Structure 1
Amino acid sequence: MAPSTDQALGFGLVCFSLLLFTYYSTWVIVLPFLDSGHDLHRYFLPREYSVIIPGIAAVLALFCVGAFTGIVMWRNQNLNKVD
């Protein structure tokens, strides 16, 4: 069984993900159908950012995965040279 700190961290991450999903879904799906003068619009960034922010996040994620893969392969190659 996982320690209580791991469970609390996991619960926090699930809650954060659910909140982020709800915010982004409302921003992208609901707001285009509301008038531009609606009060809900003041809680969200302009629509252009709904494409820019996930695009930047995807590039950063791909960079991190590529860097991690490169580091693991480089370390594995160095270990094989020593043996």
Structure 2
Amino acid sequence: MELADRAIGLILASISVTIFTYYTFWVIILPFVDKEHFVHNYFLPQEYAILLPVYAGVSLICFLSVFIGYVMLKSKKKKKV
């Protein structure tokens, strides 16, 4: 089991570093590259650099709120019984 945990941790860390590098290049470096350069073909428009993290954050907050509410309701029912 320990080997599987390490493999999953390595995969998650690799994905995180890849997303961080892609986003950092997209937001910080890409605005200084000419619009005609071929590297712009690999990135979404700049508007999405703000919209995607905002939507992800709102979705995460909504999911956490529903989860916490569900756990609170479930624990309240256990106290009644």
> Is TM more than 0.5 here?
yes
Runs of 4+ in 1 over 6 A off after TM superposition: none
What do the CA deviations read for 1:2-50 (whole angstroms, capped 9, x no partner)? 6111110011000000000000000000011111011111100010111
TM-score (norm 2): 0.95
Q: Within 1, Cα distance between the matches of 2:59 and 2:4?
A: 28
TM alignment of 1:36-47, pairs within 5 A: 36-47=35-46
Aligned residues: 81
Sequence identity, in percent?
A: 41
| Residue 78 of structure 1 pairs with residue 73 of structure 2 | no
Q: Within 1, Cα distance between the matches of 2:27 and 2:18?
A: 14
Q: Within 2, Cα distance between the matches of 1:11 and 1:62?
A: 26
Please provide the CA RMSD for this pair.
0.9
TM-score (norm 1): 0.93
The aligned amino acid for 1:69 is: I
CA positional deviation for 1:65: 0.8
- Correspondence for 2:47: 48
Q: Within 2, Cα distance between the matches of 1:4 and 1:73?
A: 35
Q: Within 1, Cα distance between the matches of 2:67 and 2:3?
A: 29
Q: Within 1, Cα distance between the matches of 2:53 and 2:69?
A: 24
Q: Within 2, Cα distance between the matches of 1:47 and 1:19?
A: 19
Stretches of structure 2 that go unaligned for 5 or more consecutive residues are none
